[in-house]
Structure 1
């Protein structure tokens, strides 16, 4: 079967099966931007978890969002079948970003003629082009995504351009948020203490708290952002700190896009909101522990990486296998504070 990635067909209908994490979904925009550049006039639909719709709606490249209401790790056979039926006849090709066999089911059952993805989990029938993943060449998540929008020969070099994600900001929503949460006119610094993967990616809350105190005394308003799981962390950071606001659990994902765009700088673990902040142009101070900035960096030129590169890093474990988490515990708040003030 000919590779349509090398064609320049006007009006081609492309379905992308998106990833299941916030940060990965933001990075997937680089693929969508590439498709729009390479195939002017193409129509792009994205199949993704329902939670991701607010992020996808902020991407100018997305023409259609197909919500797949299946919980993470669930089969959801009936839901996948119904979704596939609704897509029949609507798309010319599909690009499947996750490597699980479940992720390839919808394009297969929708009878999309051309279905592309990486080799993984016995997808011999579900995909009719399967590319082998050379991790030494495609050494970043975003490179892997973008490569699937390119001809095979070009993708195999790893030397292609990576467009930087850019999420659209809603200024009217931002005004409403500032009024609703009684945010001050002080310059804002965002803090994102969460990291879904585990504690080996989470800078100590005591360090966030110490930094918040110092920033408040320097004239900033500190805004802590995160989901429901981060409410207690936000309280610990803001406790006793003047001009610190805990917004964890009080905002939607789309709100986080607008609030982060309103911050001068942010301090964040390697998390989904880190990638959101990068995609709205805010100055990012990214803290890495068990993960690596070489693999999932914030896709912006306006970032400072705080990473100690210890001999045991990166281990990519959820909890420290050595029991000390020195990759984070020895990265002190004063270092981050000096970097923030030097940029102000």
Structure 2
């Protein structure tokens, strides 16, 4: 029985996409035990992945080097006698724990100077267009890793699929006094990356208004940082329709948001972690792209509509619009999004 340690990514969306690697590893070796180290905010996601044996919380803060702390974690993991480690971040510090844990095979992409820390260093990452391909490719030995076509393309890879706990889902719906009878539209208007990913509040409000008039319930998701945005969207909806609008941003835990997104029919989202969660729980997804591109991290839902403008300055991949006009988002009309909602 193979024992595998994964150093997981730090962002929710990346963590969801990393499930493709775990699925691929289990396809190759169904008896493998896969443990994943992750920051506390991502750990609940791992608990909804049946491929993961154990989610190990990373006590060191994101960005902190803490050599001695990483050494202690690595030494504490030696007794688990892992056979193989996969290091998904590309930083040097992310490769320290498996090295201190004396894991014999340590696989990862070439990134910061980490020669020696990794002894199975892959250098052809750009042969793979999509992030999920880059994760899955690590599961194969070097001779088999040529390009994305050798993996069979995006459609041939297992897509992330998070489990929904129906009992917890029902309790969460009751906890927030929600009604899940009829059609539910989820809106995810936040984006941790920055304002160049955030479709305007007024545009989201027009979507919410149109869907409410069509008799649909609207649930607004996000973190505490998104609460003001979600409240602003609700206040821009006509008062007689506001009873259809439920602001959940900042109220739910991440795992509660996972279960509630699983109750939605369609989710409209910026390019964000919740967009990937919505795809992984089986929703139809309408994905809005501003400064970024679906050619790298598209939502892997069964039913996806991707909307973006075609102005020549996008995608720029900037957190803030370098030209100061945000036309890639402002010029993306609400009607374009409304027409894509199933």
Do both share a fold (TM > 0.5)? yes
Distance (whole Å) between structure 1 residues aligned to residue 165 and residue 66 of structure 2? 34
Secondary structure at the counterpart of residue 72 of structure 2: helix
Give 1:153 deviation, angstroms: 2.3
Segment of structure 1 superposing worse, 159-168 or 91-100: 159-168
Residues 89, 112 of structure 1: 8 Å contact kept: no
For the 8 Å contact 1:216–1:242, the answer to whether it is kept is no
CA RMSD of aligned residues (A): 1.1
Corresponding residue SS for 1:88: helix
Within 5 A, what are the aligned runs for 1:154-169? 154-159=144-149, 160=151, 161-169=156-164
Residues 194 and 230, structure 1, Cα contact 8 Å, conserved in 2: yes
State yes or no: 1:153 paired with 2:148: no
> Match for residue 59 of structure 1?
49
Partner-residue secondary structure (3-state), 1:242: helix
How far apart, in 2, do the equivalents of 1:237 and 1:173 lie?
28
- In structure 2, what is the equivalent of residue 14 of structure 1? 4
Match of 1:72 among 50, 62, 66: 62
Shift of 1:163: 0.7
For residue 109 of structure 1, what is the aligned residue in structure 2? 100
1:310 shift after superposition: 2.1
Q: Which residue of 2 aligns with 1:338?
A: 339
Partner of 2:106, secondary structure, is strand
2:146, 2:40 → 1: CA distance? 33
- The equivalent residue for 1:307 is 308
Gaps of 5+ in 2: none
1: distance between equivalents of 2:145 and 2:310?
30
Which whole-Å CA distance do the structure 1 matches of 2:277 and 2:172 have between them?
A: 17
Mapped to 2, the partners of 1:309 and 1:162 lie a distance apart of 29
TM-score by length of 2: 0.94
Question: What per-residue deviation string (whole Å, max 9, x for no partner) do you get for residues 27-80 of structure 1?
Answer: 000000000001120110111112111100000000011111122211233432
Partners of 2:109 and 2:125 within 8 A in 1: no
Gaps of 5+ in 1: 1-10
**Displacement, 1:81?**
2.3
Residue 333 of structure 1: how far off its partner (Å): 0.5
Aligned residue pairs total 330
SS at 1:165's partner residue? Answer: coil
Is the 2:189–2:198 Cα contact (8 Å) retained in structure 1?
Answer: yes
Q: Is the 8 A contact 1:187 1:221 kept in 2?
A: yes
Q: Aligned-pair distance for 1:83?
A: 1.6
Which shifted more, 250-259 or 125-134? 125-134
Secondary structure of 1:328 counterpart: helix
Large movers: runs of 4+ above 6 Å: none
In 2, the alpha carbon distance for the partners of 1:198 and 1:179 equals: 33
Q: What is the DSSP-based 3-state SS (H/G/I as helix, E as strand, rest coil) of the residue aligned with 1:222? A: strand
Whether the 8 Å CA contact 1:290–1:317 is kept in 2: the answer is yes
CA distance in 1, matches of 2:2, 2:98: 16
Residue number in structure 2 paired with 1:50: 40
Mapping of residues 81-92 of structure 1, within 5 Å: 81-90=71-80, 91-92=82-83
Structure 1 residue aligned with 2:284: 283
Deviation at 1:186, TM superposition (A): 3.7
Question: Are residue 255 (structure 1) and residue 245 (structure 2) matched?
Answer: no
The TM-score normalised by the length of structure 1 is: 0.93
Output the CA distance in 1 between the equivalents of 2:175 and 2:252.
Answer: 11
8 Å contact kept, 2:191–2:197:
yes
